């Protein structure tokens, strides 16, 4: 507790003061610093996963200081401990973020972990070169730079998680169709900002529902439906193949324009989906606006049975009071990836509790190694009570292969949009390109 208070106090001091640090450099012993792009660091979600990954690295590093201190150039760790510190940015303005990089650097940062895609605009080539000259590396979480200069861009094949989550939701909905038949079976999603990292989840989710609707002859799907139904009332093969097709609803405005809860657009979209369209399952890729969706469901007079699929982390832990509303969550391995890449940042490899020097660590940061989205091992769905009986089947190799086919389609779309500078390109792609009639971007199931 004392350690936490000391770190929190240091963070408060640094966050509230910019004067006096630019004139002289505080001696660095190679600390790890986390800088958010807005929002709470202790959110039990994305930002906290970044923090916990960094803390895991720090703990394991300090347990191995005796060994690490014997490596050439690392002798200092015999007498010094690694520390993890942070700055909670008050907003995502470029000047705010760049100022916070400056503060962390002068306060002793060796590696700066940047949480969130708003850092993209702040990490200009000039900024990257400046910190490279200082010997500081960045790890950018959930965003990708085209030509990184000592920056590791961690992105995730979220479309794979979205696919598995959409498929899980579809199976659950048909297994429980009696409670939802009156308005048809309906699934939808919405996002905060129309960005690549958001749309990837939504695209995978779309194709998960599509796969369920169009591959009914797959007996494995019927088995999973019946695994979730009472043994006394299994669904017949003929009923399964001819009935209960799920409608996937796209609405005219599917992005709220941000991630803060309680906004006019967030309330409008959640109200439309729950009370207007009467969606049975919704996946919000919208940060704290998940709260608005949960509130709309709770207060609805006509659709209180609606269910939610979370993102990034197991959101039953984030919203324990509504855990029965969540079927599962589409996951990103944020914690594990941050911990692993921090070892690389210090030119080390950590595998099965064994630490070794990593002579070619620079390839993870200088762009010589393609920084592709992290798939297997960093994506998946949470094993919640609602889908527990079919969870192992869904994460098996056969469905992982289908999820990889979604990634292949998503990569084609991403490459086509790479040179498009329009601010609405991902919103347009969601509305027009992610559709089963657009064969070029359709997974080859």
Q: For residues 264 and 261, what is the distance between their CA atoms, to the nearest angstrom?
A: 9
Q: 428 — phi, psi (to 5°)?
A: -65, -40
Q: At what angle do helices 334-345 and 46-63 cross, to 10 degrees?
A: 40
Q: Residue by residue, what is the 3-state secondary structure of the chain?
A: CHHHHHHHHHHHHHHHCCCCCCCCCCCCCCEEEEEECCCCCCCCCHHHHHHHHHHHHHHHHHHCHHHHCCCCCCHHHHCCCCCEEEECCCCCCHHHHHHHHHHHHHCCEEEEEEECCCHHHHCCHHHHHHHHHCCCEEEEECCCCCCCCCEEEECECHHHHHHHHHHHHHHHHHHCHHHCHHHCCEEEEEECCCCHHHHHHHHHHHHHHHHHHHCCCCHHHHHHHHHCCCCCCCCCHHHHHHCCCCEECCCCCCECCCCCCCCHHHHHHHHHHHHHCCCCEEEEECHHHHHHHHHHHHHCCCCCCCEEEEEECCHHHHCHHHHHHEEEEEEECHHHHHHHHHHHHCCEEEECCEEEECCCHHHHCCCCCCCCCECCCCEEECCCHHHHHHHHHHCCHHHHHHHHHHHHHHHHHHHHHCCCCCCCHHHHHHHHHCCCCCHHHCCCC
Evaluate whether 35 touches 113 at the Cβ level (below 8 Å).
yes
Residue 224: CA count within 13 A, CB half-sphere: 26
Q: For residues 209 and 171, what is the distance between their CA atoms, to the nearest angstrom?
A: 9
What are 430's two structure tokens? 């969601």
Q: Which of 269, 424, 335 is nearest to 57 (CA)?
A: 335
Structural domains of the chain sorted by starting position, each given as residue range(s) with its CATH number in brackets = 2-156+335-364 (3.40.50.2300), 158-332+376-441 (3.40.50.2300)
CB atoms within 10 A of CB 351: 9
In the chain, what's the furthest Cα-to-Cα distance? Answer: 76
Tokens 């240091």 label which residue?
10
CB atoms within 10 A of CB 338: 26
Quote the pTM value. 0.88
CB atoms within 10 A of CB 101: 23
Positions of the chain with pLDDT lower than 70, given as ranges: 1-29, 370
Q: For residues 47 and 335, what is the distance between their CA atoms, to the nearest angstrom?
A: 10
Q: Which of 357, 207, 192, 352 is nearest to 258 (CA)?
A: 192
Q: Which of 371, 296, 139, 423 is nearest to 308 (CA)?
A: 296
pLDDT at 354: 95
pLDDT at 302: 96
pLDDT at 40: 83
Query: Partners of 186 in the beta sheet?
Result: 247
Q: For residues 273 and 189, what is the distance between their CA atoms, to the nearest angstrom?
A: 9
């Amino acid at each position: 507790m004392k350690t936490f208070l000391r770190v929190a106090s240091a963070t408060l001091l640094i966050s509230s003061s910019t004067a006096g640090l630019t004139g002289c450099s505080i001696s660095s012993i190679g600390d790890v610093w986390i800088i958010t792009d807005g929002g709470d660091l202790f959110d039990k979600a994305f930002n906290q996963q970044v923090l916990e990954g960094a803390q895991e690295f720090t703990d394991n590093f300090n347990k191995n200081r005796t060994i690490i201190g014997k490596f050439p150039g690392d002798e200092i760790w015999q007498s010094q401990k690694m520390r993890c510190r942070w700055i909670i940015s008050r907003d995502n303005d470029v000047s705010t973020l760049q100022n916070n990089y400056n503060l962390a650097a002068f306060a002793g940062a060796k590696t700066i972990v940047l949480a969130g895609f708003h850092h993209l605009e702040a990490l200009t080539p000039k900024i990257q070169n400046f910190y490279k000259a200082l010997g500081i590396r960045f790890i950018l979480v959930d965003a990708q730079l085209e030509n990184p200069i000592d920056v590791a861009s961690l992105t995730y094949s979220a479309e794979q998680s979205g696919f598995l989550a959409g498929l899980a939701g579809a199976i659950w909905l048909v297994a429980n169709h009696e409670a939802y038949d009156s308005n048809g079976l309906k699934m939808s999603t919405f996002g905060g900002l129309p960005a690549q990292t958001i749309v990837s989840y939504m695209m995978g989710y779309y194709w998960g529902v599509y796969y369920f609707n169009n591959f009914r002859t797959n007996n494995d799907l019927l088995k999973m439906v019946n695994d979730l139904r009472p043994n006394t009332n299994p669904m017949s093969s003929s009923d399964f193949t001819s009935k209960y097709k799920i409608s996937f609803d796209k609405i005219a405005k599917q992005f709220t324009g941000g991630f803060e809860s309680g906004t006019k657009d967030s309330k409008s979209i959640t109200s439309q989906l729950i009370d207007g369209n009467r969606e049975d399952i919704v996946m919000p890729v919208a940060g704290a606006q998940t709260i608005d969706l949960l509130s709309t469901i709770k207060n609805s007079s006509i659709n209180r049975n609606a269910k939610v699929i979370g993102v990034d982390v197991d959101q039953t832990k984030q919203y324990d009071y509504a855990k029965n509303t969540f079927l599962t969550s589409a996951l990103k391995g944020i914690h594990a990836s941050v911990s692993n890449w921090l070892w690389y940042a210090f030119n080390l490899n950590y595998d099965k509790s064994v630490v070794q020097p990593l002579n070619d660590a620079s390839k993870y940061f200088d762009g010589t190694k393609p920084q592709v989205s992290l798939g297997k091992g960093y994506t998946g769905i949470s094993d919640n009570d609602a889908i527990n009986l079919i969870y192992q089947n869904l994460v098996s190799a056969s469905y992982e292969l289908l999820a990889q086919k979604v990634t292949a389609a998503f990569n084609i779309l991403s490459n086509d949009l790479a040179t498009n500078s329009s601010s609405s390109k991902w919103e347009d792609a969601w509305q027009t390109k992610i559709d089963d009639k657009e064969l070029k971007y359709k997974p080859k199931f």
